[in-house]
Structure 1
């Protein structure tokens, strides 16, 4: 069997692994592909270190895990689609309009804990991310394992939320974010693209996803996205909202100990399991540029649906970071 340099992401924890020095040639090796997929399924996240820093390498790594899903909005900037189909380009220039005050400072590009595509009935399998322009401070991407969150959350909250489904809607208006929001959270200025995103999504029904689901391997996953959440299905009451807020706050609190925050290097790429892992962005000082590129792996876990049994073939703009 091909030999890979594999070590834990965090010593003493099952969540995540690091693989160093995988080459583009190795991504075509069936044994390597099987080994990498097995590691991903078992650990939920892989940080690839010391890899070729190119879009072609990103596509080659992504192809190990399944077919790519193109971004649903044609307005999102792409890299050369003839040479590198499926790679989207996300650049935050210096001094952008969108600003957040959180944790005592003003930052841009801050995002709360969430899973991607919460507002759709289908959940993409995973994302593969790399950094091109890296701020000298902050600009980190955080990850927390839903299996570990399920075990760590308050037993009383776990008992109350398990068996419930959560309602989600596309909402990129940051002043509307409230479930689990830090005490000093404040939106200073909205991203100027937010209104167009909201207009495109206004007629799409709300999605529904379980707060807890069970993997084929038996582990239970706490999979609540505080961002985009609108309430508990069949319990949009003050009591239901208070429960969802308490669970969201507990996720933020538990993540302080359980999360992994990735400090980017140009030779890093990483993949996370969108059915199991929540992620967040630390934000960074507005004076710095941050540029990321991403591919999305197609797939679905089959547990989500649109409210009221609605069907909708329109694809909503998917925020990717």
Structure 2
């Protein structure tokens, strides 16, 4: 890949790489596709710099990593599905109804650390994100590596959480944030559109995923999503809840040192490994708009299931950020 510029995402760290110079034509080159997939598998995240700022490039880059998974809700806005299938459009206009206070600042679009589709039995392989409307400040997307989280966790907490499974349910009500909420967190106003999402999920069983899992390459991954977690399977007790709270707070605390926060440019596109990486959104001043587009890469790591042996057909509408 001599004609592509590859650099560390964070100097001195193995998590993530920056890749510059890939063109639309090169996305169909078999050798480049193989090499880019190897980078993704090893590093867990690729930040594509200085790429063609278009939906066709978004789709072409996504196709390198596997077939795309369309969003199951037809209510979610799309780019033209005849020419750009699988690209969803997420727009936040100025002064939306949903507001959060974090560290004394009022923001919109703030999201805590999480992995996508925790509330489903299957976990998509990855997400590919780009920004079209970027606020002048804030609006960052954060990423933290579950391998690094596991390695920095205390031996005592590792021993307590390994072998445990976490229960998750779709819950987009921001006042109902069970585990790991920062002390400075306060929900000022709910987004009224969340109620329809909650109603659609009302009768769906909870999903179960391991708190720690081991990759084929041997690394252990701490993979706990504080957002939408409901408890530890078989231990929904004060003691079990206290353990999950401690782990969730450790995720937030350690992410301060380990995370990468991406400040967007229109010529950036970014893919992360949903089986390994947690992500979050910093939020931004409500006076500004923010518009993101995203594709979802199909796949599953095969370790999740629905509580009580419910059928895999019993899935809920996903919400993508």
User: TM-score category by the smaller chain?
Assistant: over 0.9
1: CA distance, partners of 2:286 / 2:34: 42
Q: What residue number does 1:91 align with?
A: 91
1: CA distance, partners of 2:47 / 2:175: 33
Gaps of 5+ in 1: none
Q: What residue number does 1:211 align with?
A: 211
Aligned in 2, Cα 1:120/1:205: closer, same or farther, shift over 3 Å?
A: same
Contact map agreement 2:178 2:230 (CA 8 A) in 1 = no
1: CA distance, partners of 2:262 / 2:161: 30
What do the CA deviations read for 1:16-61 (whole angstroms, capped 9, x no partner)?
Answer: 0000021000000000000000000000000000000000000000
Q: What residue number does 1:249 align with?
A: 249
- Following superposition, the deviation at residue 285 of structure 1 comes to 0.4
Residue 162 (structure 2) pairs with residue 136 (structure 1): no
Contact map agreement 2:10 2:16 (CA 8 A) in 1 = yes
2: CA distance, partners of 1:151 / 1:139: 29
Contact map agreement 1:73 1:315 (CA 8 A) in 2 = no
Contact map agreement 1:72 1:315 (CA 8 A) in 2 = no
Contact map agreement 1:73 1:316 (CA 8 A) in 2 = no
- Following superposition, the deviation at residue 312 of structure 1 comes to 4.1
Aligned ranges for residues 169-318 of structure 1 at < 5 Å?
169-318=169-318
2: CA distance, partners of 1:302 / 1:148: 22
1: CA distance, partners of 2:184 / 2:60: 42
- Following superposition, the deviation at residue 97 of structure 1 comes to 0.2
Aligned in 2, Cα 1:2/1:82: closer, same or farther, shift over 3 Å?
A: farther
Q: What residue number does 1:40 align with?
A: 40
Runs of 4+ off more than 6 Å: none
1: CA distance, partners of 2:38 / 2:166: 30
CA RMSD of aligned residues (A): 0.8
Q: What residue number does 1:168 align with?
A: 168
2: CA distance, partners of 1:315 / 1:305: 11
What do the CA deviations read for 1:115-152 (whole angstroms, capped 9, x no partner)?
Answer: 00000000000000000000000000000000000001
Contact map agreement 1:2 1:31 (CA 8 A) in 2 = no
1: CA distance, partners of 2:261 / 2:235: 34
What do the CA deviations read for 1:253-280 (whole angstroms, capped 9, x no partner)?
Answer: 0000000000000000000000000000
2: CA distance, partners of 1:141 / 1:96: 19
1: CA distance, partners of 2:315 / 2:4: 38
- Following superposition, the deviation at residue 314 of structure 1 comes to 4.3
